[in-house]
């Protein structure tokens, strides 16, 4: 099977799997209590995904090349001719300085990418709030804005996943493609479930929920195909030099953290009208903990 057929099948499987997982809360009629429980678990999955999957994946993508290069240089060090100690020492010092400089750049890149993602969603939220602002009912405006930004944050992350899969497919290594595909599906399916649960809890109509879900499900496959088709050999080398996949993942992590902390978590804070029970945080903690199982 050629690379194009492979990425096409993986993209189709990702689209169908994500959409089916998201329709489960819509297909089953839940009572008010069960819907609230499922929504809490969905929120836990969203937050766990942000903290335990996206950020580690982005950091791993950034450091992968440097770690491989360091391992390669250490392997070569054992076979250097002993008659050239001065040259070897100078090379080691030079290499060490370059690695230290690269590490400093990557440290800065991690923080900048996360902050930019968070600020991007903050700006989107402010723009969305200005369009749906209702002076008579500010609470309705806040809820409407949260629906948009929750979906948009997940779509940005899904798009970064698609870039990662498309880049993996361009390597022509089937094993790498499958590993990336499985890693993506392990958190895309629960994220779709959590998104739909949150939108149902926010009171969005079912037809509009399906549209939000379809946009989320399409984001990764479409970006995977575009990335695969758009990458020439020189483009692959350029993207590799700037660690584009890692930056995209960390940027999406920033958007995800904004959605989780600003819109999802406040929905489950106790209030005077509906006091929170002692056991209500348990499903949230349990579902968030599911994301901390090792994926590599």
For residue range 261-289, list pLDDT tens digits in order. 776 666 666 654 555 555 566 766 766 66
Tell me how far apart the terminal alpha carbons of the chain are, to the nearest angstrom: 26
Residue 169 in any domain: the answer is yes
**Residue 92 resides in a domain:** no
Q: Over the stretch 231-241, which tens digit does the pLDDT of each residue have?
A: 655 565 655 55
Residue 283 lies in a domain: no
Residue 162: domain span: 3-68+102-268
Residues 198-225, mean pLDDT to the nearest whole number: 88
Instruction: State the chain's mean pLDDT as an integer.
Output: 71
pLDDT in tens, 30-63: 777 776 777 677 667 667 766 777 788 778 877 8
Say if 286 falls within a structural domain: no
- Residue 34 is assigned to a structural domain of this protein: yes
Number of domains in the chain: 1
84 in any annotated domain: no
Please check whether residue 86 lies inside any domain of the structure.
no
Whether residue 93 lies inside any domain: the answer is no
Kindly tell me if the per-residue pLDDT of 90 is higher than 60.
Answer: no
- Report pLDDT digits (tens) over 170-190: 766 676 677 678 767 776 787
């Amino acid at each position: 099977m050629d690379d194009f057929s492979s990425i096409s099948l993986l993209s189709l499987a990702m689209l169908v799997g994500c959409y089916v997982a998201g329709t489960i809360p819509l297909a089953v009629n839940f009572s008010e209590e069960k819907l609230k429980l499922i929504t809490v678990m969905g929120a836990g999955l969203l937050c766990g995904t942000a903290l335990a999957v996206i950020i580690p994946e982005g950091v791993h993508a950034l450091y992968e090349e440097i770690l491989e290069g360091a391992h390669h240089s250490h392997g070569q060090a054992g076979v250097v001719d002993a008659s050239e100690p001065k040259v070897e020492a100078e090379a080691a010092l030079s290499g060490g300085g370059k690695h230290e400089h690269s590490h400093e750049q990557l440290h800065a890149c991690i923080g900048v990418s996360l902050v930019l993602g968070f600020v991007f969603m903050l700006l989107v939220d402010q723009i969305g709030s200005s369009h749906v602002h209702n002076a008579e009912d500010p609470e309705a405006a806040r809820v409407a804005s949260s629906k948009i930004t929750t979906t948009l944050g997940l779509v940005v992350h899904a798009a970064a996943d698609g870039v990662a899969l498309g880049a993996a497919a361009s390597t022509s290594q089937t094993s790498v493609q499958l590993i990336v595909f499985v890693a993506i599906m392990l958190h895309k399916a629960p994220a779709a479930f959590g998104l739909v649960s949150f939108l149902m809890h926010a009171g969005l109509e079912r037809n509009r929920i399906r549209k939000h879900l379809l946009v989320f499900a399409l984001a990764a496959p479409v970006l995977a195909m575009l990335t695969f088709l758009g990458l020439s050999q020189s483009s692959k080398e350029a993207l590799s030099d700037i660690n584009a996949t890692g930056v995209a993942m960390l940027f999406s992590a920033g958007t995800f953290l904004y959605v989780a902390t600003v819109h999802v978590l406040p929905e489950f804070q106790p209030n005077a009208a509906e006091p929170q029970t002692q056991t209500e945080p348990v499903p949230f903690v349990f579902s968030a903990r599911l994301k901390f199982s090792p994926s590599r």
